[in-house]
Structure 1
Amino acid sequence: MTESSAHPALWPAPHATGAVDATVTVPGSKSVTNRALVLAALSSEPGWLRRPLRSRDTLLMAEALRAMGVGIEEGVGPDGSGEAWRVIPAGLHGPATVDVGNAGTVMRFLPPVASLADGPVHFDGDPRSYERPLHGVIDALRTLGARIDDEARGALPLTVHGAGALDGGPVAIDASSSSQFVSALLLSAPRFNQGVEVRHTGRALPSMPHIRMTVDMLRAVGAQVDEPETGGEPDVWRVSPSALLGRDLTVEPDLSNAQPFLAAALVTGGRVTVPDWPLRTTQPGDALREIFTAMGGSCELTESGLTFTGSGRVHGIDVDLGEVGELTPGIAALAALADSPSTLSGVAHLRLHETDRLAALTKEINNLGGDVTETADGLVIRPRPLHGGVFQTYDDHRMATAAAVIGLAVPGIEVENIGTTAKTLPDFPDLWTGMLDADPDTVGVTPGALGAPTERPGA
């Protein structure tokens, strides 16, 4: 009996037999979808959200807002052009119970919304959610006038005792463990009586593109935002009180979720096209164009999308990923297959994500024969010949997709709980095998084409 049959939860990662050549339509952005849902719920009129992502995290957000009284109707847009959600704002109310799962956006973005509700809103979630930092949002909301019962944990579970309004005003927070602390306050700030002035007082902020995304989306619905990027004080954001406008928003593809598919082109020396890649975006995943080019590929961005072509060799990289930390697992997977060492830095905050991603990547790649060492703020990866084995995911979607990338070059990789990818990328296994099935090249990968360390995968 094989290990896969003994443990049905294990997913045998497909091994590439040639250069991929495929077009992959990536579902919508989780980050955009969940921000758009919050802003639409707080608007003064109904709005449309077109091509939203339907995943665990976004459905949790929608259900949480419904629990507080917001109408969210799922169907097709007014012109019949595809799936869309109609968001109908209403008076926010409790009592309500919110299941955050393990979604950082839900657990951090919604307590400020709940402070505007009339009545108590209780938040709970997966066991891992209890370990993720929430103190920045809790402490800030208390400073701004909210009443929150968390039994001094600074984490879930907790209850926000909404009073129907919140004073708002100035607040200082340390958001160095998560930029979502800043975004959480900014998203609801137009509804605070005094708006908000958020001053970050800690170390360098991680994931700044996500804060830029929040600011851009606020402005798109009529909010007035002063920020460091436009001449404001460093690490200070100000949002004025105002009504928000209902909008008709089309959600961009999730560029970070495009990462494993682009990585497949890099590993196999193939070509992958992602339609509708935006010409301008605040998504952190847009950095893949530069990072993956440095690792050995080339890309062409047109109005129709992005085409990425690999050379069949993966080069090591020395890169600060502080602004794009969510890309780290996929980059680490490629670095393990590279022809030279890599140093990934600026991502100490990943220890507080869905799992401790630095420890998890180190353990799982090393269990396959790799040589990964943790540093204070990242990883040093020295490529070695890898072999097959079970790759644990720790209920982390990006660990699962990283394992799939390694499996392209290394036979015998079995991924524990591939279903965790449903958090942000529904149907990932079908998308992955569909990409490989679209491959017209039936010859084997040329020995050495994946770099010296994996010249004989599994050896």
Structure 2
Amino acid sequence: MTATPAPTVLWPAPHASGAVDATVHVPGSKSVTNRALVLAALAAEPGWLRRPLRSRDTLLMASALRAMGVGIEETVSSASVMSSVSSLSPQATGAGGGPVGREESGEAWRVIPSGLHGPAAVDVGNAGTVMRFLPPVATLVDGPVRFDGDPRSYERPLGGVIGALRALGARVDDNGRGALPMTVHGNGALLGGPVEIDASSSSQFVSALLLSAPRFNHGVQVRHTGRTLPSMPHIRMTVDMLRQAGAKVDTPESGGEPNVWRVTPGALLGTDLTIEPDLSNAQPFLAAALVTGGRVVIPDWPAHTTQPGDRLREIFTEMGGSCELTDQGLVFTGSGRIRGIDVDLGEVGELTPGVAAVAALADSPSTLRGVAHLRLHETDRLAALTKEINELGGDVAETADGLRVNPRPLHGGTFHTYDDHRMATAGAVLGLAVPDVGIENVATTAKTLPDFPDLWTGMLGL
């Protein structure tokens, strides 16, 4: 007899009964944490990461580096902490004006570089940073490194990294797929030098080569040959972090050739880095203030940062809110009105799901442009957003490079996430204004924002 499939468990997205008023402590940046782990693993001396993000993506990165011989020790001070992550992170303690999430964390990771060795097996999950940043590291391993991951990871672009590594002298076995699963046969070093790459499907292709380049015999010169390069802030983040670790990097912004990045070979320093809050993960909480006409404070919002999420201040202000950087952090206030927007999100594509959700609740149409590459992310985000918002009664249409959103009255229903963390948080934003929205697999938010449901209900005082 065939077993009856288990019914899908839905998370009832909380419906806001009034204006939100809360302080939400957002955990550390995934993008910064995973770059910092790679740089620390390749350094010439031990380093520290303080207040790192503990999420699926960062734990996969740490596990992979450990498998290749890197020491990563986790410590936590006896200081009182508040979090929503795990035994090494805070518990949400209140809302309705009280703090939610991490107020201060004594957690730190000490990264101890050592001779990289194999054989090793790496589970990338569905983490773009792991599947793209670590194959160049694996070329420096003494032995084979096998890469595998979730089924969706097989469909995500990786051919640019594989082809570039081969051009730089690496041996990679992928059975001609240009994708996972694959094996990198490291021999303890890589020649390096000049390489051309089409990174139009992901800026991570460029970052992947730059992060390991100080350890290549001849460094690297990466020339992007494709069309518009998406998510440039993430490349700037990579360059800034390399320079903090002592690397010499020439970029187009520093007077170099357009679309060319050069990294000189040399030793990396062991740094002591405190991880910024993940500004992109602050998006749903800021959206809550906009949607409910309320107020949300995000502590420790940096005055200067390369994180793409900083653009939220501009985007959500244009959509009807206002913000101010104070001693408390970023104070964002909704006006009670949501305006439509015409915006190019090419450099900040990860913000698209949240912007689309808010746009569906606006009083005028929106056009979101420059994000064709989102069809190759954790899921096809453009198709997923169109389908899920429209099934709640919306009017969203895909364009060649984005979405056109015409607001209509929405109704309850199931909002599918496709194992995509940003789809889940977008559904939660819609649920604030639309009763009876059920989020399928809200647990997928653990990819970058552990215990999101607790943070969300805490913000609402539930």
| TM-score bucket (shorter structure) | over 0.9
Name 1:354's counterpart in structure 2: 378
Deviations 1:243-267 (A, max 9, x none): 0000100000000000000000000
Distance in 1, matches of 2:379 and 2:160, equals 19
1:199 paired residue among 223, 231, 251 = 223
Name 2:423's counterpart in structure 1: 399
Is contact 2:78–2:106 with CA below 8 Å preserved after alignment?
no
Unaligned runs of 5+ in 1: 1-5, 439-459
Name 2:246's counterpart in structure 1: 222
Instruction: State the TM-score, normalized to the length of structure 2.
Output: 0.93
Distance in 1, matches of 2:336 and 2:393, equals 22
Distance in 1, matches of 2:69 and 2:162, equals 22
SS of alignment partner, residue 19 of structure 1: coil
2:151 corresponds to 1:135: no
Distance in 1, matches of 2:279 and 2:7, equals 32
2:437 corresponds to 1:437: no
| Residue type at the aligned position of 1:29 | S
Distance in 1, matches of 2:271 and 2:437, equals 45
Quote how far apart the aligned CAs of 1:78 are: 11
Distance in 1, matches of 2:168 and 2:218, equals 10
After the TM superposition, which of the residue ranges 181-190 and 225-234 deviates more from structure 2? 225-234
2:302 paired residue among 270, 273, 278 = 278
| Residue type at the aligned position of 2:393 | G
Quote how far apart the aligned CAs of 1:175 are: 0.1
Name 2:67's counterpart in structure 1: 67
The structure 1 segments of at least 4 consecutive aligned residues displaced by more than 6 Å after TM superposition are 77-81
Is contact 2:297–2:328 with CA below 8 Å preserved after alignment?
no
Name 1:58's counterpart in structure 2: 58
Name 1:444's counterpart in structure 2: none
Distance in 1, matches of 2:126 and 2:279, equals 21
Is contact 2:293–2:334 with CA below 8 Å preserved after alignment?
yes
| Residue type at the aligned position of 2:221 | E
1:317 paired residue among 341, 344, 349 = 341
Q: When the two structures are aligned, how many residues end up with a matched partner? A: 433
Is contact 1:50–1:77 with CA below 8 Å preserved after alignment?
no
1:93 paired residue among 114, 117, 125 = 117
Is contact 2:57–2:130 with CA below 8 Å preserved after alignment?
yes
Is contact 1:278–1:303 with CA below 8 Å preserved after alignment?
no
2:444 corresponds to 1:420: yes
Is contact 1:77–1:85 with CA below 8 Å preserved after alignment?
no
SS of alignment partner, residue 130 of structure 1: helix
2:265 corresponds to 1:241: yes
Q: CA RMSD in A?
A: 1.2
Map residues 260-279 of structure 1 onto 2, 5 A cutoff: 260-279=284-303
Q: Percent same amino acid at aligned positions? A: 83
SS of alignment partner, residue 460 of structure 2: helix
Unaligned runs of 5+ in 2: 1-5, 81-104
Is contact 1:279–1:302 with CA below 8 Å preserved after alignment?
no
Instruction: State the TM-score, normalized to the length of structure 1.
Output: 0.93
Name 1:257's counterpart in structure 2: 281
Is contact 1:168–1:193 with CA below 8 Å preserved after alignment?
yes
Distance in 2, matches of 1:208 and 1:78, equals 39
Quote how far apart the aligned CAs of 1:8 are: 5.6
